[in-house]
Amino acid sequence: MAAKKISTVLSRSFSSAAAPPCFFSRVRGGGGQSRLISRYNTTLAAVEDPITPPVSVKYNQLLINGQFVDAASGKTFPTLDPRTGEVIAHVAEGDVEDVNRAVSAARKAFDEGPWPRMTAYERSRIIWRFADLLEKHTDEIAALETWDNGKPYEQSAKIEIPMTVRIFRYYAGWADKIHGLTVPADGPYHVQTLHEPIGVAGQIIPWNFPMLMFSWKVGPALACGNTVVIKTAEQTPLSAVYAAKLFHEAGLPDGVLNVVSGFGPTAGAALASHMDVDKLAFTGSTDTGKIVLELASKSNLKPVTLELGGKSPFIVCEDADVDQAVELSHSAVFFNQGQCCCAGSRTFVHERVYDEFVEKAKARANQRAVGDPFKEGIEQGPQVDSDQFEKILRIIRSGVESGANLKAGGDRFGTTGYYIQPTVFSDVQDDMLIAKEEIFGPVQSIFKFKDLDEVIQRSNNSRYGLAAGIFTHNLDTANTLSRALKVGTVWINCYDVFDAAIPFGGYKMSGNGREKGIYSLNNYLQVKAVVTSLKNPAWL
């Protein structure tokens, strides 16, 4: 399948979106700072009178050894609708004992069950059948994603679930193509390498892209013949367990895929430190990633792959088409309510086009359609929960207080739920909190630069190194920047291209290892060398 540019798909989907009316007045802030106050219409039915989701919650238990079960403690926790803060459902709260049960089931399924002993072709067929079922149930799963997370339904149904299906079909195709090598040796020996499944894989996924992260983790693990215990994010537990049920309908043996919902300090920590988990994969914040890595090292030294935070630069060069650059940078920042690890949240603009770019970026943010994510044409729904909502507003306030110029937004949108106005800052300095902190929200910070050496140095001056965007028509400039930037992905005149075959991961404190593509298979395989002595070989 050809690579899809998320921002392009979104612009097509929402080209007819009506912008909420807004009015601006210039006021003076404390200490003589100039700031803008955005006064949005907060009586929109899309926000104040939420649409009833077209789906019901069928599964709210743990899935262990092929069976839906309550938590051993009997505890549940509420998962909330970010449009209102109201309870969607109460979900089983997994803890240490539940993780132990899930790992035990996965261990037995790996050591004694049919999955790793099945022909690779049969594993491929089961994964493919699951992808077909997933595609058949796109509407229900997309609705669960939107209800639980707040992302626009059109985004879930037209982009993310189809991408999830594509990932599983990609790894279904890999299952029977994983093999070792025959290696020449200095002497009468036959040497071969075997690529073996690593065993029980523990996986911890985040809340911003629940189903996509489910596919990035589960797809390669199962294709390689492993068994899995996956812990869902407490904010978004509903879609993964639904999908796991479909996997069993496709013929997946019991115990191969186990789903535990619960909290990081309990269920997540238990999985990371479990002595019978052979490999761990985590996607989330850098600070939590450090804890996960420490727990893994203190237990059985299990290998860990980490896909962590980012503060990605988006570089607009002096030869750029400003209108195109504004639209692309807008999508790079605001997609998924800004809740994207690779969001291009540091927008570096050459000084020759800076003023024009800032005014057009402000206008585009003011036109962004914010509201109930189940409403057609909405570009931006609510943030996932109250914690994220408050954190984003706190960092926005810090931007105003530190002297950045608030050009658009800066406050909540509406009076209910966790909606935030699309926010744009100009005149941002590198030492400001909004320039350094991963905001994970709809906030664009625009910086001015003079030349390539300067923007390279400033772009790389970050603890993160996940991704970068370059907007230029000059091939030499593109080549210079793409090789100089210390990041795992560089997008040139595009952004957020996530084809199943393209590896994704970070430099520095954005993590280690790669997701997607052929590279992710290495995360779930052991390499064994087998050396056999040869007697009177005809050739070496």
Q: What is the set of active-site residues?
A: 307
Distances in Å between the Cα of 259 and the Cα atoms of 43, 164, 284 are 40, 17, 18
Cβ proximity of 419 and 381 under 8 Å? yes
Contacts of 359 (CB under 8 A, 6+ apart): none
**Within 13 A of 74's CA, how many CA atoms are on the CB side?**
0
Cα 231 to Cα 63: distance, rounded to the nearest angstrom: 11
Query: How buried is residue 70: exposed, middle or buried, by Cβ count under 10 Å (0-12/13-18/19+)?
Result: middle
Our CA angle for 355, 358, 364, nearest 5°, is 145
Burial per residue of 195-228, b for 16 or more beta-carbon CB atoms within 10 angstroms, e otherwise = bbbbbbbbbbbbbbbbbbbbbbbbbbbbbbbbbb
Q: Which two tokens stand for residue 11?
A: 């612009």
Cα 365 to Cα 379: distance, rounded to the nearest angstrom: 11
Nearest residue to 229 (alpha-carbon basis) of 178, 161, 301, 281: 281
Q: Which two tokens stand for residue 210?
A: 């629940």
Contacts of 383 (CB under 8 A, 6+ apart): 82, 150, 337, 339, 389, 392, 418, 419, 420, 441
Cβ proximity of 272 and 300 under 8 Å? no
The DSSP element (H or E) to which 508 belongs, if any, is strand 507-508
